Every structure is written in C-alpha cells, then in structure tokens.
Amino acid sequence: MNVLVTGGTSGLGLAMASALAATGASVALTGRSGERAESVAAGLPGATGVEMDVRDESSVARAVDRVWSRLGGIDMLVNNAGIGMRTVNPRFMTQPQGFWEVPSDAFRAVIDTNLTGYFLVAREITPRMLASGGGRIVNISMNHSTMRRAGFVPYGPSRAGSEALSRIMAADLRGTGVTVNLLLPGGATVTGMLPQDVASEDHGFLSPAVMGPPIVWLASDDAAGVHDERLVAAEFEQWLREWDSRQPNETGKQEPDAH
C-alpha cells in the first residue's frame, strides 16, 4: 500500500503516518517545509518526506508528481493538512471570539488550508487513481459539535465544508473503484492546534495515537469496499463490530449499504 499523508510532520498526520509505516506501508508525508518533512520521514521505516503547500495548485501538482514517481503510484490519500483556531485566536479555549472579531485574512487562511487544500489535493490525485483502476481517499474531520461551537469561526466552518466535500466526493466516485471515507478523532486531541496553556494540563484529551488503528484498517484488504463511511477513532472498536454485523458474510470485504 502506497500512502500519501498531507500534513504528516506532526499531530494526527504523524500518528497516522507512523502507524501505517509500522505495518509496512510505503508512506509519503508532506509539510510546507520540505526539509522538515524529510527530517520527520527519516524517523519512520521506509517513509519519504515531500514539500507541499496544499493551498497552492502548482505546489500540490509538483508534490503529487514526485510522490507518484517515488512510490510507483498512490493507493491511498489521507487528506489531513490543516490549521486550527490557535492561528486565529491563541486563547480560543478560554477567551473565545465572536465571528465578527475574526480578521478576514485569518478566515481565508484557515478555509484555504482546511477546505480548499482538501479539494486541490484530491482533485490532483483522483484522475490518476481512476486511470490506474482504483484507490482510497480518507478525509480527516472533527466532531459535529465543534462545527457549531461558539468562538470556532473559521475552524468549524472549514471542517463542516470539508465534510460536505467528502460526502459529495463519495457520491461522485461511487462505483468507480475509488472509495472515500471520513475519519475523526472523536474529541479534543493533544496536538499543536491546542493552546499551550491548555495542552499542558490534564483535561482528558485524546492522544493522536487514537488515529492509528482505524487508518491501518482503512488501508487493509478488509476495507477494500468500504465507501462513504464516517469513522470516529475513539469509538472504532465498537464501530467495527457494528460494521461487521451488517455484512452479509464473515469476510467483512463486501461494500456496506450507503447511509
């Protein structure tokens, strides 16, 4: 399995890249700094680091070309690159701002990264997957409650938009051999997106490692036909049991009903 993880130098992206690499997948992880991406990749077995600014079409095209050439194709795209509320309001957890207080340039920066970035990378890779006979796309999302939370403009709208994008991508690609699914942690996670004063305290936040088991499963043979599903990493074991129970046989390899 050749996997491209955008925003893979830290947080959720690094946790997923690490879990995939540990299973033997060939992983390419991206970051805005090519030097940092290469440095982080050097710590993972068989991984490669590539510079990519998901906001820039030419940067996306160059990076995808490079990864496709290095790996000999891309079987799975993990759309993960994003920036959070900390870039807009460093104290967003304790002193939330009303949407009317958010600078327009900060709003655009988050939307460009978290929503337009998902679109640009998927748009670049999907035709290649279709031409090669199939592939898998996993778009990283967040809890619906966060999309409606006071003080969460523009992060909430950006992730709500990326979730709608994912559902439409799944509808557009149904029956083509390219699958699309959503994956989210299921709660606040200890990453660089949290304010430093909050992240250093014990609030029962999830570890980024929670993303490992579901992303490894989504890359497995068992998930070959899984399409248009929304997986919550913190509830993955329960979700998998329920998913297995919906299958018409014991292999778990047939495509579930869309819902």
Active site residues per annotation: 155
Sequence letter at residue 203: H
| Two tokens, residue 70 | 């290095």
| Two tokens, residue 142 | 């967040």
**Taking the C-alpha atoms of 47, 23, 65 and 81 in order, what is their torsion angle to the nearest 10 degrees?**
-80
From the list 46, 52, 42, 45, the residue with the least C-alpha distance to 80 is 52
Residue 175, by phi and psi: left (phi above 0), alpha (psi -120 to 50) or beta?
left
Sequence letter at residue 120: L
Query: Which regions of the chain does DSSP assign to beta strands (E)?
Result: 2-5, 26-31, 48-51, 76-79, 135-140, 178-184, 230-232
Q: Is 3 helix (H, G, I), strand (E, B) or coil?
A: strand
Distance CA 160, CA 229 (A): 16
Instruction: Describe the crossing of helices 57-71 and 117-132 by its angle, rounded to 10 degrees.
Output: 40
Contact 31, 52 (CB under 8 A): yes
Distance CA 161, CA 144 (A): 11
